[in-house]
Amino acid sequence: MAEVPEAVRGGTRRSPRLVTPHLLHDWPLPEPSGTKYSRGQAVVVGGARATPGGVLLAGRAALRTGAGRLSVAVADSIARHVAVALPECGARGLAEDERGSVTGVGAGRALAGELDRADAVLVGPGLDDVAGAVRLVEEVAQEVPAGTPVVLDAYGLASLPDVAREASRALRGRLVLTPNTGELAQLLEREAPQGEELEGDDVSDAAVEVARRFDAVVGCGTVVVADGRIWQVTTGDTGLGTSGSGDVVAGATVGLLSRGATPAQALVWAKYIHAAAGDDLVMTFGRVGYLASELVDQLPRVMRSLRGN
């Protein structure tokens, strides 16, 4: 993992570093410049036939956070529809089974050109089959160039314990994981206490352990962990718990990575602007009732207010 500047370095479990506008001002994002190619190329891989929305949300979030060029890969039967729904992207089809679940077969070969050009890759939004996700992650790991950051979300990250050792080794040191609390427990192959969701210090402890086990930057809820250091996002409210919200965080992260942010910086920024976007929407809709797609459209405004665009 790239070294984090001392002025903004994360804290400990007992004293996490609070993420504030002042901290982000001291940790500015790379300045955007040049063409769409030089400003960052993001690739988002996922999208079963029944659940293409995750890729659409993540892809739009990547563009809204500054990625210059977007490619997406989804189940072959919906690739044309996704290309129409998201005209800013290039869309490729992936092998699928009779249910429309992405199988991962031949994915590396199908995506080799896009992965070779990518500045950051996201795998997971809209997948609905663990076995297919495992194969997909393994195929991507074989093709994505060394050093290119890879974000795993949803079924993409749930596949990690079953990914072949060689592929897992290839991803170490450049992984960014965005689990919810249930997925965080699954990555450690254990149940949450009394069958409930992880909370408080349990989240921090589990995130630290997952980050160590997979040599990754990990963000769960309001917590971000990198190299054993912890950041805590203190903004945001219950309305963020809406369908597709996690896809927005994952997409914002890959967008920021593609424009040159480090893994820890990208995830800290993504978590904060996602939460702050929700705070802004509270003024219009109340604490609940706004949509994940509305969070996406708010991201550039939040970034501008932080002078991070």
pLDDT over 70 (residue 200):
no
198 pLDDT higher than 70: no
pLDDT in tens, 268-283: 999 999 999 999 999 9
Q: What is the pLDDT of residue 38?
A: 72
pLDDT at residue number 306: 92
Task: Report the pLDDT value the prediction gives residue 39, as an integer from 0 to 100.
Answer: 79
- pLDDT at position 309, please? 45
State mean pLDDT over 226-249. Answer: 95
Residue 285 has pLDDT above 50, yes or no: yes
Name the band, by pLDDT with cuts 50, 70 and 90, for residue 308. very low
Hey, how many other C-beta atoms are within 10 angstroms of the C-beta on 109?
A: 11
Q: With H, G, I as helix, E, B as strand and everything else as coil, classify residue 123.
A: strand
For 188, the token pair is: 């450690």
CB-based contact 92:129 (threshold 8 Å): no
20-34, 154-168, 295-309, range with greatest mean pLDDT: 154-168
pLDDT score of 204 more than 70: yes
For residues 179-191, b (16+ Cβ closer than 10 Å) or e, as one string? bbbebbbbbeeee
Q: How many CB atoms lie within 10 A of CB 251?
A: 36
Q: Which domains does the chain have, with CATH numbers?
A: 6-304 (3.40.1190.20)
Amino acid 4: pLDDT: 82
pLDDT classification of 37: cutoffs 50, 70, 90: confident
* Proportion of the chain above pLDDT 70, given as a percent: 94
Encode pLDDT of 134-167 as tens digits. 999 999 999 999 999 999 999 999 999 999 999 9
**Residue 199 pLDDT greater than 80, yes or no:** no
In this prediction, residue 5 carries a pLDDT of: 82
Average pLDDT over residues 196-216: 85
Question: Which DSSP letter does residue 236 get?
Answer: -
pLDDT digits (tens, 9 = 90+) for 120-131: 999 999 999 999
Sign of the torsion formed by the C-alpha atoms of 140, 126, 76 and 118: negative
One-letter amino acid of 106: G
Confidence of residue 197 (pLDDT cuts 50, 70, 90): low
